[in-house]
Chain A
Amino acid sequence: MKIGELSRQEITARLKGPGLRWRTGPFTIHLKTSAPNLADHLRVLYQSHPLLNPPYDEVGDFHIHLSRGMGVRRWWRPKVYFKADAPSPFSPFPLDHALPLLEWGTNYCIASRAHQYLILHTGAVERNGRVLLLPGLPGSGKSTLTAALSLRGWRLFSDEFALVRPGTGRIAPLVRPIALKNESIAAIRRFDSNAQLGPEFPNTRKGTVAHLRPPPASVAADQQPAPPGWIVCPSFERGSSVTFEPLTQDQGFFQLAGNAFNYEVQGARGFRAVAQMAHHCPTWKMTFGNLEEAIEALEKLTDEVQVPMKPSPPAKADPPSETTPPPQTQHPPLTGIER
């Protein structure tokens, strides 16, 4: 059963009562709240996510409570508080910003607790059985590009995280609504007039935020991991044409390690996982100014640069011997793509 199959009243009753439980990627979310309107938002944005019904066979990963402020605050500038397993790591948000608080709070829970994965701060979409990683700082266009690719049929993994399983190097999908900010909202509306966005939340700490409903097909496949294939570090520059600049493997290493939430927590496992990806995945820096052109270029790139299916072996304890040939640091040129 899916969340979208419940009525608004049924979702509200669960949220106010025993809680609403659903699965997103490898995690189970358990949410309780009396915040108004959240049932409507969840029903749209999490429409295709599998609902969990009692008796529960799975332990909830994150027990989240969005609670309303007490006392005079309950009536004057009402607030909503985020609590995960009791601790409240954030300052409260205005009550009508419960959805952005839920999404950011869930991000916090994952980034701070899911250390069974190497967690990369990157957009991730799959094509031809391989995951394209889009690491980038806020403002780089990572989420907007991820959203646009998912609207063009690429399988969405996440606009925020790549969950890398150390050992196998495979990436677990974490398909959730994509948080679009400020100009990105209008950009995606222009890009695809059928894109299903939730309400706009103005004056958040990151400006105006709206959430894009993830493609149902991606949600349906969110238990199917895939290996990484390519790393592209996007950089949006208004008016720019699409350019690719290849990065060396050691530069790729630091793009990944530097964009990981828990690289140092992972220790040797993290080093091995990042080294494996850096050896295995060709890496580029991409500048773009137009979503359609960027997608066309990325489709061409992923068609032309085929990554071998067998991943490189992980780093060994022994240093490389003199007879070991140096690994390839430059990937094949991209014919036909402006560089």
Chain B
Amino acid sequence: MSKYSRRDFLRKASVLAAAGTLPISLVEVAFGESHPKNFTFAFISDSHITQTKGNNFVENWDRGLRRSVAECNLLDPRPDFIIYGGDIAQLGKPEEIDHGLDILAGLRGDVRYVMGEHDYYLDLGSHWRKRLGPERYSFDHKDVHFVVLNSILTYPEWTHKQWDGGMQRMLQMARLDNPHGSPFMVGDEQRQWLQADLAKIDKATPVVVFSHSPIQKIYKGWNFWTDDAEQVQALLKPFDKATVIYGHVHQIQYNQIDNISFHAVMATAWPWPYPSTYKQAESHLAKLTVPMNRADPFFERDATGWQFIDMHSGNVDLRYVLPGNTSRRVAFDEEAGRPMDTRYQGAMARIPPRNHY
């Protein structure tokens, strides 16, 4: 073995070893055991690439995104496609979006993108659109109908206030706990588009919606919230199986509202505390969510990650591989009719957690 190939081998070996301990979420849409239409896709989200000066960017966030790309490329079998769940950038700057897309260009496979508020509020999405195309669209894959929404719009009075430039508006929206922020929404126009899009789809076809914000109301103070969530849910109600997968919250969440399953994904950048840890306000995280452990700040990748998703029986089976913690798998439980952690759902089955408080 030559010096160079040995070094190359060692590098590859260490990447493989790391992959086993990293935050990976894989989504499986399944139609039953070994059904030919079962497939997987991967989901990466919330990288918050931050330009500090010129060609310099916050290294921590770059590392999170690079790691997810490297691990995603090791998935075998290959996922059918990859979804990026929004917030490539921290302040929506072209330099940040371009730098994030340069890193994401290393992904093997087709990537589809969701608009996040950090990509949008500087220039109302114009650079993002220039690079990636429209922010709402649908596509069909192996008998599943997928819809991508821009769910981070807000009231036009807020968006078009007399701002002192786009950056001021961006900074206001970038502050999660901003008392002068404005709630996210899909909006009338986009809901009409969604209604028309779904009208063409057979009600037995599984529908999967990708949005940046949760299409449910968890905590308004941090925009873990979509103001017209109920109206969007009503459009999904006629379907036998519907799933919403969203970013923004940087933590494990899952829920079931009637026929709709909800799953949040991890961020590659940093984790957020659960809203229940803020004692001055009430919040409504779904009771069935088994929370992720409180992150160890001394380990910069703790409680960050990405996911791979199995689709089977038209339902989503979402896997999180978490550094320094046992992997988690949240799958649709046919009997219970809702997503469940396949290992830790029961109170007695849980390991002593590092609680959020």
A binds B: no
